[in-house]
Amino acid sequence: MTAASEMKALRRKLLRWYRANRRDLPWRRTRDPYAIWLSESMLQQTRVETVIPYWERFLARFPTVEDLARAPLDDVLTLWAGLGYYSRARNLHRAAQTMVERHEGRVPDDGDALRELPGVGRYTAGAVASIAFDRAEPIVDGNVARVFARIFGIEEDVKSTPVVKRLWQEAAELVRGASPGDFNQALMELGATVCVPRGPRCLACPVSEHCVAYREGLTQSLPRKTKKAPPRPVAAVAGWMERRGQVLMVQRPAEGLLGGLWELPGGDLLPDEEPASALARCLRERMGLDVPGADELGIIEHVFSHLHMRVHVFRCKAPEGRVRRRDFAAHRWLAPEAIDTLAIGGPTRKALRLLGQVR
């Protein structure tokens, strides 16, 4: 069998397997490009089971590009809260506004135009163009890279520049033909359900006879990746303070970690600094407030891809002075039960749980 005929056979078998075995996911029941773009944006680094209810709530609240573009960013972030990687929500909002300004409120139908949108990279552009518009655009994500590394027996680091280039070349070659959207989804489905990172189900694989790793006993050792550095430890403090029955919340700047989200006021704990002293310093320097006393309730931990955060959580006595904030985008005094109306990230949600303010 020639290389070209083997690729055609692989493609044909994979499509046949996908159509018989694909999972019934809600975004596979629509051809609405907006709904498909939304699903692909949410699925980046997030499990399917987690995404489904968020996707359904987003479509119910913002059923069109125009609805999303017109919405206040705070509303978008609030609906996104708990899904993580909040830059995706900010980019989603900006991209919707760009579509209204440049594309008459429609999702562009080709890869080049899609890649010009905020937050839309090569993978997302390829997925949306192929699935929503049947364009022969390639995709490579973690699942596809793993499938290709095993099928083609690639033993070099899949994150290295030469290998990444090869993966995209292979994807571009394979996507050519009928039903490019189904084919790309078949690749992703194979990686998500059969060619999994540990314990791949090779006996259930429709293309195992084309797989170098299966033939040579390398499925457990491929793909090869450079080991990631462990998350950097970061210590911080946060304080719950009430004045006349209202609690103070602050909003982080739009850009950066947890950008645009609301949290309890506080800040970083400096090396060799006592947590209570750090809280008093942060509230004075960043909020212009003096707190006559505070009790530490405990420590919450939250792990990001690059940070391991430990936050000392305090319940403070009523603060003295008038708020003169620095570093934060906004602040609000509000009733404790109204905190649910704010866009809040994982660390703050854990702190509120520790404080008995369960969300």
Q: What is the pLDDT of residue 183?
A: 98
Average pLDDT (287-314) is 95
Q: What is the pLDDT of residue 2?
A: 62
> Which pLDDT tens digit goes with each residue over 240-257?
999 999 999 999 998 888
Q: Which two tokens stand for residue 141?
A: 């994500």
DSSP bridge pairs for 243: 246
DSSP of 138-200, one letter per residue?
Answer: ----HHHHHHHHHHTT--SBTTSHHHHHHHHHHHHHHH-SS-HHHHHHHHHHHHHHTS-SSS-
- For the four alpha carbons of 134, 135, 138 and 139, in that order, the dihedral sign comes to negative
Average pLDDT (13-37) is 97
Residue 40 bears catalytic tag: yes
Average pLDDT (55-73) is 97
Do the beta carbons of residue 312 and residue 237 sit within 8 Å? yes
Residue 358 pLDDT > 80, yes or no? Answer: no
Helix or strand run (H / E) with residue 106: none
Give the helix, strand, coil percentages of the chain, each rounded to 5.
50, 15, 35
Do the beta carbons of residue 233 and residue 302 sit within 8 Å? no
- Asked if omega into 72 is within 30° of 0 (cis), the reply is no
Residue 72 pLDDT > 70, yes or no? Answer: yes
Q: What is the pLDDT of residue 228?
A: 83
Whole-number percent of the chain with pLDDT over 70:
99
Catalytic residue among 40, 137, 170, 189: 40
Residue 222 pLDDT > 80, yes or no? Answer: yes
Average pLDDT (163-184) is 97
Question: Residues 43, 47, 49, 53: what is their CA dihedral angle, to the nearest 10 degrees?
Answer: -40
- Which is more confident, 165 or 229? 165
Whole-number percent of the chain with pLDDT over 90:
90
Q: What are phi and psi of 250, to 5 degrees?
A: -125, 150
Q: What is the pLDDT of residue 359?
A: 54
With left for phi above 0 and alpha for psi between -120 and 50, is residue 177 left, alpha or beta?
A: left
Do the beta carbons of residue 251 and residue 261 sit within 8 Å? yes
Do the beta carbons of residue 213 and residue 153 sit within 8 Å? yes
Q: What is the pLDDT of residue 357?
A: 84
Average pLDDT (153-168) is 96
Q: What is the pLDDT of residue 284?
A: 96
Q: Which two tokens stand for residue 100?
A: 């209204």
Q: What is the pLDDT of residue 172?
A: 97
DSSP of 204-225, one letter per residue?
Answer: G-TTGGG-HHHHHT-TTT-SB-
pLDDT interval class at 226 (50, 70, 90): confident
> Which pLDDT tens digit goes with each residue over 95-148?
999 999 999 999 999 999 999 999 999 999 999 999 999 999 999 999 999 999
Q: Go through the domains of the chain in sequence order and give each one's CATH number.
A: 3-216 (1.10.340.30), 232-354 (3.90.79.10)
> Which pLDDT tens digit goes with each residue over 298-309?
999 999 888 999
Residue 201 pLDDT > 80, yes or no? Answer: yes
> Which pLDDT tens digit goes with each residue over 114-124?
999 999 999 99
pTM: 0.87
Q: What is the pLDDT of residue 202?
A: 97
Q: What is the pLDDT of residue 255?
A: 85
Average pLDDT (268-293) is 95
Which residues 6+ apart lie within 8 Å of 347 measured at CB?
A: 258, 263, 300, 302, 309, 311
The number of residues making up the chain comes to 359
